[in-house]
Structure 1
Amino acid sequence: MTKLRIEGYVIVSADGMLADAANVMPGVLKFPGDAEFFSSALDGADLIVHGRNSYEDQPNSPKRRRLVVTRKVAALAPDPDKPHSTLWNPAGASFDQACEAAGVTTGTVAIIGGPVVFDMFMDRYDTFFLSFAPHVTIPGGAPCFPAVGPGRSPQQVLTAHGLTPANQLMLDPAHDVSVTAFQRAA
Structure 2
Amino acid sequence: MLRIEGYVIVSADGMLANAAHVMPNTLKFEGDLRFFSSALDRVDLVVHGRDSFEDQPNSPHRTRLILTRSIASIAPAPDNPKATLWNPAGASFENACDAAGVDKGIAAIIGGPRVFAMFLGRYDTFWLSQAPRVHLPGGVGAFPGVPERSPEAILQASGLHAAEQRTLDAQQQVTVTAWRRPGASD
- For the superposition of Structure 1 and Structure 2, which TM-score range results when normalised by the shorter chain? over 0.9
Using the alignment, how far apart are the partners of 2:42 and 2:112 within structure 1?
20
Q: Distance between the aligned counterparts of 2:49 and 2:163, measured in 1? A: 27
Q: Which residue of 2 aligns with 1:182?
A: 179
1:23, CA displacement in angstroms?
Answer: 1.4
The whole-number CA distance in structure 2 between the counterparts of 1:118 and 1:172 is 24
Conserved in 2, the CA contact under 8 Å of 1:164 and 1:182? Answer: yes
Establish whether residue 64 from structure 1 lines up as the match of residue 62 from structure 2: yes
* TM-score normalised over the length of structure 1: 0.97
1:143 to 134, 141, 144: 141
Q: Which runs of 5+ in 2 are unaligned?
A: none
Distance 2:101 2:94 in 1: 11
* Distance apart, 1:9 and its partner CA: 0.2
Listed one character per residue, the Cα deviations across residues 38-77 of structure 1 (whole Å, up to 9, x for unaligned) are: 0000000000000011000000000000000000110000
- The one-letter code matched in structure 1 to 2:175 is S
Distance in 2 between residues matched to 1:96 and 1:21, nearest whole Å: 34
1:21 Cα offset (Å): 1.6
Counterpart amino acid of 1:119? A
Deviation above 4 Å: which 4+ runs of structure 1? none
Report how far residue 22 of structure 1 moved.
2.0
2:174 corresponds to 1:173:
no
Q: CA RMSD in A?
A: 0.6
Partner of 1:160: 157
**Letter aligned with residue 177 of structure 1:** V
TM-score (norm 2): 0.97
Aligned residues of 1:169 and 1:178 also touching (Cα < 8 A): yes
d(CA) in 1 for partners of 2:105, 2:133:
35
Q: 1:89 is matched with which residue: 87, 90, 99?
A: 87
Aligned 1:1-186 pairs, distance under 5 A: 3-150=1-148, 152-186=149-183
**Unaligned segments of structure 1, at least 5 residues:** none
Which letter maps to 1:52?
R
Distance in 1 (CA, whole Å) between partners of 2:89 and 2:157 is: 26
Give a deviation string over 1:115-157, Cα, whole Å, max 9, x none: 000000000000000000000000110000002223x110111
Q: Count matched residues.
A: 183
Percent sequence identity is: 64
Query: 1:23–1:53: 8 Å Cα contact kept in structure 2?
Result: no
